[in-house]
Amino acid sequence: MATTSNAAGGNYRRVPLSSSDSISSFSSQQQQQPLVQTQQLPNDTTTATPHSDDNSDDRHRWRNSSERFLDKLWAAAWVTMAVLVGYWARVPTVLFTTSALDVGHRRLLHVSAAVWGINAVLAAYLTVYLPKVRNIPPEAWNTYCPRVIPTMTGLGVVAVVLMIRATWPAWGFLSPAVLSLEGLGLLFALQFVPAW
């Protein structure tokens, strides 16, 4: 294998892409094979440099458990704040009873809920159907279904605007803040759902 060096002092060698590439002619190998940075070892053997961390396993395990604990603590704080704001703003009463909002605003709330439902179906399509049924990895979403993510983004913006407009008579200019805190509380509540 030919080894080259660059101005920064790193050595590079050509690596075959597959077993059929090693059979092909030398000139086609030079054109098809990518360069991989290598490191010169003390016994003059050249190997590819792995991306390794010098930390010990115990330190890494401790750091992960402490970070997980802090993540759960922050999630519990956001959920607690969402529950307190929901109690103060009477969120279940405003969203689920007919006496809190007039008919026009209630219809806007229903349209917003329908748009959130469409977003939930699209999210299930991306996260359950494609990887589990069709065996398509998330990296291929941009090529397999390129319009789903932008559609979900647009629908999410429409749903939020409709929900703010629907709850404006109940909370006024605090509607965006109340709905944002409730949304963050729901998002961080997912920290306590076990992985499956």
Mind listing the pLDDT tens digit for each residue in 152-179?
999 999 999 999 999 999 899 999 999 9
Local confidence band at 22 (pLDDT 50, 70, 90 cut-offs)? very low
Separation between Cα atoms, residue 111 and residue 108, nearest integer Å: 5
- pTM higher than 0.75 for the full model? no
- pLDDT for residue 48 is more than 50: no
- pLDDT for residue 33 is more than 80: no
- Residues pairing with 37 in the sheet: 12
pLDDT given for residue 184 in this prediction: 95
pLDDT given for residue 98 in this prediction: 72
104-139 pLDDT, tens digit each: 888 999 999 999 999 999 999 999 999 999 999 999
Local confidence band at 23 (pLDDT 50, 70, 90 cut-offs)? very low
